Amino acid sequence: MAYLKTVMLSNSEEDLIHKKSVECLKEVGVKIDSESVLDLLAEQGADIDINKQIAKIPEKTINAALEAAPKQITLYGRDPKNNLDLPVSGYPYTVTNGTAVFVRDKDTNEYRDSNSKDVADIAKLVDGLDGIDFQWPSLAAKDKPPHAQTLYELWITLENSSKHFQGDAIHGAHNANAQIDLAALIVGGREALKKRPIISMIVCPLAPLYFERGAIESQVEFARAGIPVVSYSMSIGGLSSPITIAGMMLNANAENLASLVITQAAAPGAPHIYGSDSTPMDMATGNINYDAPELGLVACGLSQMSRSYGLPSFNGGFGGFSVFGDYNDTLFEALSGCFASMCFTDITGGLGCIDDAKGICFKQMLVDAYTWECCREYMQSIEITEERLGLEAIKNVGPKGNFLLEPHTFKYLRNEPIVWDEDKYELLTKDRPAILEAASQQVNQILQEHEVTPVDDSILKQGYELIEAYEKKYLP
């Protein structure tokens, strides 16, 4: 099969990034705010400075982790029809952006704090969109107690979507275990969950080279439970990593290798996904610069690095072709998104986000999903065979002939030409006001008509009782 792929690094450049990443971890090391995780790494041969909380990781430990990590992973859906096998052979899977704290109200357009009703609505919308494969909780349930929000976001999303759920690991081992217990209710226990993990978890190192206690101790618990962990480096050029594209790739690659070592130290053979959302700082404002061309370039290079290691990957973003911006913004966002998507990544994310990922818009989510359905056609697998090359047909037709009535044309007419969904394409080609009006109508139609595979009421009740018990035990 032939696929459209963007290649950035030569083999020698891949080797150099790996070599310098190994040197970085051996000589600089990583700071880890957890004695228990430092002890784990010491058992794997790392040189530990307990006072400085620095772990220097030797090459043999990195190699052992790369050898132990599974090369194929399935992200299971609550409904098996939504299972996702990694790595992909064609275009990547898409996921929403998470976890924004503001939402543009689907009816009034007010930009406001998000709440648990928004979490439920966006989960149901995504469940009904073919252009989005699984769910990162797009919005924070800010009407719930802060340290229990991750639990509400997981449980509300699982109730309102049958697609795979990818959450956030930030609050420590007790919170991680509560999330594991919630997911286990759906599938019939922890052992069943280990065999069919319907959730995965993003763990973000704090660039440069730092793992804070809550996140990294959560990662250990998820790894031991068989929950796929996504190491999601956010190396911000000029702020938390070198400003160069090469420097951002080095820092993110080193953080990914260190994170992989921790996962495999916790549970050899535990599923682990290499990830990055790295881009430069806007030197004029100090903000993260998601409009920078470097976003797609770094994602492309790091996707090659993950593929060279044989690891599934989540690199770069797609989406944000703003329904509120101008056409020039859309052009450059599209270029960056396409570079990030047409590389060797297995997952690309960011659909539905606005305001540098601080907010989510229902209309934007629908437009991004439809845009992706069109764009992914460029990445379809193309079968190159003698039959499809059609030399015999060319011989039959000869010079100056035409192929309209040629049997070869009739044979492939219905399944070879790329045909976009006419209704979705028509929506995307309207002017801005018309796009907003049509998107609003379709969002509300999906929310009213789409039927989500239900969760048994008794299980839902058990989940909310588990969350309430957690709140009483751990919250002031």
Beta bridge partners of 135: 165
Question: Which of the 8 DSSP states describes residue 356?
Answer: T
The answer, yes or no, to whether residue 371 has pLDDT greater than 80, is yes
Cβ–Cβ under 8 Å, residues 185 and 462? yes
Better-predicted residue by pLDDT, 474 or 43: 43
> Of 239, 326, 336, whose CA–CA distance to 282 is shortest?
239
Q: What is the pTM of this model?
A: 0.93
Q: How far apart are CA 206 and CA 223, in angstroms?
A: 19
Q: How many domains does the chain have?
A: 1
**Does residue 384 fall inside a structural domain?**
no
pLDDT at residue 168, as a whole number: 87
pLDDT at residue 329, as a whole number: 57
pLDDT by residue (tens digit) across 104-126?
999 998 999 999 999 999 999 99
**Does residue 184 fall inside a structural domain?**
yes
331: confidence class by pLDDT, cuts 50, 70, 90: low
The answer, yes or no, to whether residue 328 has pLDDT greater than 90, is no
Query: Residue for token digits 């101790």?
Result: 217
**Does residue 230 fall inside a structural domain?**
yes
**Does residue 467 fall inside a structural domain?**
no
**Residue 363 sits in a domain of what CATH number?**
3.20.20.480
- Tally: H helices and E strands in the chain: 18, 19
**Does residue 386 fall inside a structural domain?**
no
pLDDT at residue 4, as a whole number: 75
pLDDT at residue 133, as a whole number: 96
- Return all residues near 219 (Cβ < 8 A) that are at least 6 apart: 169, 201, 203, 229, 259, 262, 263, 266
323: confidence class by pLDDT, cuts 50, 70, 90: low
321: confidence class by pLDDT, cuts 50, 70, 90: low
**Does residue 85 fall inside a structural domain?**
yes
The answer, yes or no, to whether residue 330 has pLDDT greater than 70, is no
pLDDT by residue (tens digit) across 221-244?
999 999 999 999 999 999 999 999
pLDDT at residue 455, as a whole number: 96
Q: What is the mean pLDDT of the chain?
A: 92
Which domain covers residue 102, as residue numbers?
Answer: 66-379
319: confidence class by pLDDT, cuts 50, 70, 90: low
pLDDT at residue 374, as a whole number: 85
Q: How far apart are CA 360 and CA 139, in angstroms?
A: 7
pLDDT by residue (tens digit) across 296-306?
899 999 999 99
**Does residue 274 fall inside a structural domain?**
yes
Structure token digits, residue 43: 């058992």
pLDDT at residue 450, as a whole number: 97
The answer, yes or no, to whether residue 327 has pLDDT greater than 60, is no
Give the mean model confidence (pLDDT) for residues 416-444: 88
pLDDT at residue 397, as a whole number: 96
Give the mean model confidence (pLDDT) for residues 418-442: 87
Q: How far apart are CA 160 and CA 106, in angstroms?
A: 17
Query: Residue for token digits 């226990």?
Result: 189
Give the mean model confidence (pLDDT) for residues 407-424: 88
Better-predicted residue by pLDDT, 213 or 322: 213
**Does residue 355 fall inside a structural domain?**
yes
388: confidence class by pLDDT, cuts 50, 70, 90: very high
**Separation of CA 85 from chain center:** 14
Give the mean model confidence (pLDDT) for residues 134-141: 93
Better-predicted residue by pLDDT, 446 or 373: 446
Structure token digits, residue 32: 């880890």
The answer, yes or no, to whether residue 16 has pLDDT greater than 90, is yes
Cβ–Cβ under 8 Å, residues 322 and 290? no
